[in-house]
Amino acid sequence: MTEIVHNLENIRLKIARATAKARRKPEDVRLIAVSKTYPAEKVREVIEEGHILFGESRVQEAVVKIAQLPSNLQWHFIGHLQKNKVRKALPYFDLIHGVDNYEIAEDINRIAEELGRFPRVLLEVNVSGEGSKFGFKPDQLRERMEALLAFQRIEIHGLMTMAPLSDDAEKARPYFTQLRELRDQLQEEFRLPLPELSMGMSGDYEVAIEEGATLVRVGTAIFGAR
């Protein structure tokens, strides 16, 4: 067994334990293998274990890699999407996690219309308030939600966040709780389903699952240090 396969099995086990602990159904949590920076050969090791869901954060890198791999895979865009990359990105990704400001949503909506697409997206929220992070501040998102929902071409499926980096996964918990509570409030206020919560990375995905994550984005814990 390769190191990567061993890591993947270990993570699958931990995800199963975390869902059981939280009394959630295992199928309600999906693992995104974050393959950014790793070459297609490494990704193949994971595909051979039956894994099909991958995350990339740079459009150009992803497009090259996707072309080298089987066509039955699912790719999520998890990074900060630049305005000038929207047109290139839309055909490749099943879900765009990082819609982090109103203007990019506007661009995605316009370009999706031109391309005849209905992209699925998550709205990125900066719950920690760290200046270095992308994303809507919670109050900003409440104010903008009506306008975001009015975009005809964008399907909003939920929220995404990144907790501040820390060696202690428990430190991330309050941010994950906040994202879930914000999601619950928005669902109620705007009377719509926002089923997806994308939160949790290599160091804190178990805590994220306990707090309601439906998508965990795990890179280094599978593929090794970048």
Ligand X SMILES: *Cc1c(COP(=O)(O)O)cnc(C)c1O
Binding site residues, ligand X, CB under 6 A: 34, 36, 57, 78-79, 162, 201-202, 217-221
- Please, what is the minimum distance in Å from the beta carbon of residue 219 to ligand X? 3
Cα atoms found within 13 Å of the Cα of residue 69, Cβ hemisphere only: 26
**Token pair of 57 as six digits:** 């954060």
Instruction: Decide whether 33 or 86 has the Cβ nearer to ligand X.
Output: 33
Residue 73 is which amino acid?
L
- Please, what is the minimum distance in Å from the beta carbon of residue 100 to ligand X? 10
- Please, what is the minimum distance in Å from the beta carbon of residue 28 to ligand X? 19
C-beta separation of 14 from 5 below 8 A:
no
| Residue 97, H or E segment | strand 95-99
Instruction: Decide whether 59 or 218 has the Cβ nearer to ligand X.
Output: 218
Instruction: Decide whether 178 or 187 has the Cβ nearer to ligand X.
Output: 178
How far is residue 77's CA from residue 159's CA, in Å, rounded to a whole number? 14
- Please, what is the minimum distance in Å from the beta carbon of residue 191 to ligand X? 29
| Residues in a beta bridge with 54 | 33, 75
Instruction: Decide whether 25 or 64 has the Cβ nearer to ligand X.
Output: 64
Distance of CA 201 to the CA centre of its chain: 10
Give one DSSP letter per residue of 26-38, joined into a string: GGG-EEEEE-TTS
Instruction: Decide whether 34 or 66 has the Cβ nearer to ligand X.
Output: 34
- Please, what is the minimum distance in Å from the beta carbon of residue 38 to ligand X? 10
Instruction: Decide whether 147 or 165 has the Cβ nearer to ligand X.
Output: 165
How far is residue 150's CA from residue 85's CA, in Å, rounded to a whole number? 23
Instruction: Decide whether 51 or 217 has the Cβ nearer to ligand X.
Output: 217
- Please, what is the minimum distance in Å from the beta carbon of residue 189 to ligand X? 27
The residue number with the shortest CB distance to ligand X is 219
C-beta separation of 115 from 91 below 8 A:
yes
Residues near 93 by Cβ (< 8 Å), separated by ≥ 6? 62, 75, 76, 77, 119
- Please, what is the minimum distance in Å from the beta carbon of residue 78 to ligand X? 4
Nearest to 96 by CA among 19, 14, 51, 151: 151
